[in-house]
Chain A
């Protein structure tokens, strides 16, 4: 935490975020490599096709463990309330940086909360569809999954990947270049007062004791 700034994420929260974030990036890139022949070269980044294939499910385990930790760490702040519904009505103003017409957000705005809940659902989809592909011969007395089940799960896994990939683009874009100062919250844990006032005025008020 930097001097004069407001603490936004604890050390634990930051570790959990990067376990989930970096594993997701790995999973997304290798997953796209497995799905699109033109992107197969991406497996080189993971040590080649066979190695990428071995690492992908284990990274999935890291993503799942981190995701579960994150879920319980943040769920308290993620309840969608009446203020969030007002915020969502003004989302088109938010999208064009017209902050004056966007209701003041708390620690998380409604978009972030929806990101949380959508990623939770997608995470469950990755897990449920991923395990049969990882262990097609069966696991814990269930299976085998060869044939129709694997093929259907492959479709589900891919569609969830596209959803997660799109969310990641928005998440990284907003968290870095679009809103300077945001990335620091996930690196050293704190944000400037100006940042808090601009993006999360109600949270800023609370943190400043007003």
Chain B
């Protein structure tokens, strides 16, 4: 039986579970993080706060011609500020992306996971990996439209940002939001954050950034980390998919094919049984004598 997560939060969805999630109570509102890219000064304090609070292993930084600390996310790096230099109107602009789990309302990782209870989604919107149930298949990595989960070969488990679930459960904001010196990261109810994001977008548009948008992609049911993107017409330069979907393509087909497959195998067993009842064994006559 799947081990329940340490958190006592009400559960909305559990991976690979054919029965409904155990939660019948709903605990208050959904929470969300709002990242205003236009306010980020690139200090990477949030990266440190994330490592400190979650006690993640230290990985040496590397100078590869970018302001970025590491090349990629890892099982020990759940948050990475990505820096891309882009030419905008004959000028150079710095596109910064806070790369971490977006906590989708329709989580592709959870739908792809074959291990019961290895991925849970709480009623507050946070998607959490419960490594006690993880079997290390990494199918969540392929199910994620944002390429976030990372495998640790030593533990054979997959890890990602858990939105500081232990802090949130205690009524605190995530460590990254707490530490941000410019208030580029806001924390509150999803409703409030959407309203705040829209106000920020209006403000940016008034300042001449006509293409500013609030990134809350509907293809994954919206996210619980949203971005205020100054140059919304260049989402690809931020490494943000324009129209991400949960369980796209083959994964969507798999759901239907599985039902057919299970039926076919069940009918196959039944047919063999009925054939035996109908025709019985065929015994060589000579030997029976």
Spell out A's residues near B (CB within 8 Å).
Answer: 32, 34-38, 40, 43, 49-50, 52-54, 95-97, 99, 133, 136-137, 145-152, 154-155, 158-159, 161-162, 165-166, 169-170, 173, 177-181, 192-195, 197-199
B129-171 near A? 1/0 per residue, CB < 8 Å: 0000111111101110001000100001000000000000000
CA distance A155 to B17 in the complex (A): 19
- Interface presence of B275 (CB below 8 A): yes
Q: Which of B182-190, B204-212, B252-260 lies at the binding interface?
A: B252-260
Across the interface, B286 reaches (CB within 8 A) one of A43, A165, A180, A197, namely A197
Structural contact, A166 and B276, CB atoms closer than 8 A:
no
Structural contact, B282 and A158, CB atoms closer than 8 A:
no
Across the interface, A53 reaches (CB within 8 A) one of B135, B253, B254, namely B135
Structural contact, A159 and B18, CB atoms closer than 8 A:
no
Across the interface, A158 reaches (CB within 8 A) one of B18, B249, B261, B285, namely B261
Structural contact, B272 and A173, CB atoms closer than 8 A:
yes
Chain A nearest Cβ from B64, distance in angstroms: 19
Report the nearest B residue to A161, measured CB to CB.
Answer: B261
What are the 4 tightest A-B residue pairs by CB atom distance, in nearest-first order?
A: A194-B284, A194-B286, A194-B287, A150-B142
Structural contact, B281 and A37, CB atoms closer than 8 A:
no
Given A53-B135, A197-B284, are A178 and B275 also a contact pair (CB < 8 Å)?
yes
Structural contact, B284 and A192, CB atoms closer than 8 A:
yes
Chain B residues lying within 8 Å of A159, measured Cβ to Cβ, are: 257, 261
Chain A nearest Cβ from B186, distance in angstroms: 31
Across the interface, A148 reaches (CB within 8 A) one of B116, B249, B257, namely B249
Structural contact, A148 and B279, CB atoms closer than 8 A:
no
Chain B nearest Cβ from A199, distance in angstroms: 8
Report the nearest B residue to A155, measured CB to CB.
Answer: B250
Given A35-B258, A151-B143, A158-B257, are A165 and B265 also a contact pair (CB < 8 Å)?
yes
Secondary structure dominating the interface of A? helix
Chain A residues lying within 8 Å of B217, measured Cβ to Cβ, are: none
Spell out B's residues near A (CB within 8 Å).
Answer: 16-18, 112, 114-116, 133-139, 141-143, 147, 151, 156, 249-251, 253-254, 257-258, 260-262, 264-265, 268-269, 272, 275-276, 279, 281-288
Sample of 7 more A-B contacts, CB < 8 Å, known A173-B276, A192-B287: A37-B116, A151-B250, A154-B139, A165-B265, A166-B264, A170-B272, A195-B287
Report the nearest A residue to B283, measured CB to CB.
Answer: A180
Chain A residues lying within 8 Å of B135, measured Cβ to Cβ, are: 34, 43, 49-50, 52-53
Structural contact, A152 and B250, CB atoms closer than 8 A:
yes
Report the nearest B residue to A193, measured CB to CB.
Answer: B286
Structural contact, A194 and B133, CB atoms closer than 8 A:
no
Chain A residues lying within 8 Å of B250, measured Cβ to Cβ, are: 148, 151-152, 154-155
Query: Would you mind naming 16 contact pairs between A and B with Cβ atoms under 8 Å apart?
Result: A43-B135, A50-B134, A148-B250, A150-B138, A150-B139, A150-B141, A154-B251, A158-B257, A173-B272, A177-B276, A178-B279, A179-B281, A181-B283, A192-B284, A193-B286, A195-B284
Chain A residues lying within 8 Å of B286, measured Cβ to Cβ, are: 192-194, 197-198
Structural contact, A169 and B265, CB atoms closer than 8 A:
yes
Chain B residues lying within 8 Å of A49, measured Cβ to Cβ, are: 115, 133, 135
CA distance A181 to B285 in the complex (A): 12
Structural contact, B261 and A181, CB atoms closer than 8 A:
no
Across the interface, B253 reaches (CB within 8 A) one of A99, A155, A194, namely A155
Report the nearest A residue to B149, measured CB to CB.
Answer: A146
Chain B residues lying within 8 Å of A53, measured Cβ to Cβ, are: 135-137
Structural contact, A180 and B281, CB atoms closer than 8 A:
yes
Across the interface, A96 reaches (CB within 8 A) one of B260, B269, B279, namely B279
Report the nearest B residue to A51, measured CB to CB.
Answer: B135
Chain A nearest Cβ from B67, distance in angstroms: 26
CA distance A53 to B276 in the complex (A): 35
